[in-house]
Structure 1
Amino acid sequence: MSESLGIWLVRSESAALAAVLQAQLGGTLYRPWLNSAVAQKQQFAAVYRQHAQWLMVAASGIAVRFLDGLAQDKHNDPALVVLDEAGRYAVSLLAGHEGGANRLAYRVANVVGAVPVITTATEALKPLVVGIGCRKGVSVERIAVAVRRALGTRRLDEVREVATIDLKADEPGLIEFCARHGLPLRVFAHATVAARAWVTQPSDWVNRNVGVDGVCEPCALIACMRGQLVVPKMALDGVAVAVVEDKRVEA
């Protein structure tokens, strides 16, 4: 099985969205309508095992029907993420952990500004979201120290995701920190953060250099809309960290 990504479109109307995704993620693009003599489901089945990961731009119901009879077990099935044609939700549908669909859902979401939808129990039971803002070039070690200081007695394995602004999406220290600890990085557009300036104390430095009142607090709160800010912005050695805890729905 190839390690490459397959991007499956159901309709030609998704071509522009797919071009953006392929430019950022790579992969092989499939346009099954070009072979109208063969049903799409049959075409998909013929190439299903040729990729380790799939991104399908379609309704989730279509994806489920296409998978009928193909899925075997979580250790061998290709990962599959479903993205709606409006680019609003990236759903990890199959092989979330073992196949990497959860990670792929975040990558897709970060490209198009979608919400990553992760339903695996391990992630669902992690209540914390950590927002991070940092100076350019800050080391992974400094980020780790700041995060652990902010968490206090809470454990790193309680963290569901790390959230930041798009200007920091390629920050090497931040990327390395998330990779070392198996944490997905969720990235929000500058305009999204600017429109939801939920900060306990605006930062003049951040405003001058980034153009928003703060990064770590609004990013964490946007990522966890029903959450509560349990650790306000804590700055340490060029790293700003905030922690939001998810409020559980009581039965």
Structure 2
Amino acid sequence: MRIAENPKPYAIVGITKHGAELARQLADQMPDADLYLSEKFLQEGDEETVYSFPTNVRLLLEQIFHNYEGWILLISLGAVVRMIAPVLKDKKVDPAVVVVDDKAQFAISVLSGHLGGANALTERVAGILGAAPVVTTASDVSGTIAVDLLGREFGWKIDDDRQVTPASAAVVNEEPVVVIQETGETNWWKRKSPIPKQIQVVGCVEEARAIRAQGYNAVLWVSDRLLTEDQLSIAPYRVVYRPKSIVLGLGCNRGTSLEEIENVVFTTLEQQRLSWKSVACIATISLKKDEEGFLALSQKYGWPLVAYEPEELNRVPIPNPSDTVHKFTGAYGVSEPAAMLSASTDQLLLEKTASGNVTIALARVNFSKKSSTTPAVEGMEVPS
């Protein structure tokens, strides 16, 4: 058996003559996939491009099933179900599995259709082979919201997933559901058909209650705020999404510890009733791009560190300019203009506040100006 030491995202497997031919055809169109064939169907020159296994593909799956994000198996559906059953762990970690029949009539999404991306992979494979895609996930079939995937492409995080299942049931059963979107990217609806009429999309809870005073069966709430039980009582099932919408503008004295910076950040967010899960990045001056406390904070929470030159900061009108800060840094402010620059806004959620060795300001990302993918900024440090 020969397996990839540095696996690509996907694995394509063929075990029959026709399956091997189709697998090769797929591999030619999928540079992000490793090709695995039964040893009996190897050809001259395959040593560099094809991985192999004995006739029993079950052993291959047992060894490396979780090495890949997705599997495309040119094998009968029943056989695949039996082979993968012993290696399944949890829908949050299991890879996508797509099955294609020996004549490429159908590409079938078998496992991890949503979280693992099998449905999208099925469509891709079907397009290459000219097969009919078979997707049975209720939200996809119904053309409605996939509760567990809403905003995933933008980095939104579900605050608590315990009510995802009943909320999903409310959506696919066409019960009254409201999406309250206070912040975050607005172009999350990707289907060609319109949003189903039983789903209301509003900007605040007051608007939702004005439309339907008796409440909803489920609420999908896109917010960076810490919500109260009274606010959430608009529906029995609630799923809160945390978009990357808060920018931390930070300054500090040289050598300030991670512990002090971390304490200021989390205390401030709590006081402002904002979720730390919605932090998009840390913004500061270029003089601080190597500040150990900032780098450690960035690494610990996966928050990119964006640093701006003094000239860039000085072009931003701020409420609290300081001649003292300018004397030492060349900028009339650090935390306030850095936060506003990174958030593409001219407003602050919180003006500069000093606490010990740290200054902090907060800004909410203006998504009407900010693209869904933040462009790289000179001086940006991205945690590995």
Normalised to the residue count of structure 2, the TM-score between the two structures is 0.34
Q: 2:342 aligns with which of 223, 228, 240?
A: 223
Q: Distance in 1 between matches of 2:360 and 2:321?
A: 14
Please say if 1:210 is aligned against 2:329: yes
Give the structure 1 partner of residue 267 of structure 2: 149
Percentage of matched positions with identical amino acids: 28
- Counterparts in 2 of 1:88-237, with a 5 A limit? 120-122=154-156, 125-151=243-269, 152=271, 153-196=273-316, 198-226=317-345, 228-237=347-356
Kindly tell me: are residues 70 and 239 of structure 1, through their superposed partners in 2, closer, same or farther at Cα, counting changes over 3 Å? same
Contact 1:166 / 1:188 at 8 angstroms: preserved in 2?
yes
**1:2, distance to aligned residue in structure 2 (A):** 9.4
**1:227, distance to aligned residue in structure 2 (A):** 6.2
Give the structure 1 partner of residue 103 of structure 2: none
Higher relative contact order (CA 8 A, sep 6+): 1
Kindly tell me: are residues 207 and 178 of structure 1, through their superposed partners in 2, closer, same or farther at Cα, counting changes over 3 Å? same
Give 1:120's aligned amino acid: F
Normalised to the residue count of structure 1, the TM-score between the two structures is 0.51
- Counterparts in 2 of 1:63-102, with a 5 A limit? 69-72=30-33
Q: Distance in 1 between matches of 2:358 and 2:261?
A: 6
More helix by share: 1
**1:247, distance to aligned residue in structure 2 (A):** 3.8
Question: 2:284 aligns to what SS in structure 1?
Answer: strand
Give the structure 1 partner of residue 205 of structure 2: none
Question: 1:228 aligns to what SS in structure 2?
Answer: coil
Contact 2:335 / 2:361 at 8 angstroms: preserved in 1?
yes
CA offsets per residue over residues 62-121 of structure 1, 9 Å max, x none?
xxxxx9621249x758xxxxxxxxxxxxxxxxxxxxxxxxxxxxxxxxxxxxxxxxx633
Q: Distance in 2 between matches of 1:232 and 1:212?
A: 16
| Number of aligned residue pairs | 148
**1:209, distance to aligned residue in structure 2 (A):** 0.8
Give the structure 2 partner of residue 239 of structure 1: 358
Q: Distance in 1 between matches of 2:254 and 2:318?
A: 21
**1:194, distance to aligned residue in structure 2 (A):** 2.5
Q: Aligned-residue CA RMSD in angstroms?
A: 3.3
Q: Distance in 2 between matches of 1:211 and 1:183?
A: 26
**1:186, distance to aligned residue in structure 2 (A):** 1.1
Q: Distance in 1 between matches of 2:339 and 2:285?
A: 10
Q: Distance in 2 between matches of 1:214 and 1:143?
A: 18
CA offsets per residue over residues 219-243 of structure 1, 9 Å max, x none?
0111111363111101111111110
**1:184, distance to aligned residue in structure 2 (A):** 1.0
CA offsets per residue over residues 24-70 of structure 1, 9 Å max, x none?
xxxxxxxxxxxxxxxxxxxxxxxx97xxxxxxxxxxxxxxxxx9621
Kindly tell me: are residues 69 and 169 of structure 1, through their superposed partners in 2, closer, same or farther at Cα, counting changes over 3 Å? same
Give 1:122's aligned amino acid: W
Contact 1:228 / 1:247 at 8 angstroms: preserved in 2?
no
Judge which range, 186-195 or 171-180, deviates more: 186-195
Question: 1:129 aligns to what SS in structure 2?
Answer: strand
- Alignment gaps of 5+ in structure 2: 9-27, 35-66, 70-152, 158-184, 186-242, 369-384
Give the structure 2 partner of residue 60 of structure 1: none
Give the structure 1 partner of residue 170 of structure 2: none
**1:218, distance to aligned residue in structure 2 (A):** 0.4
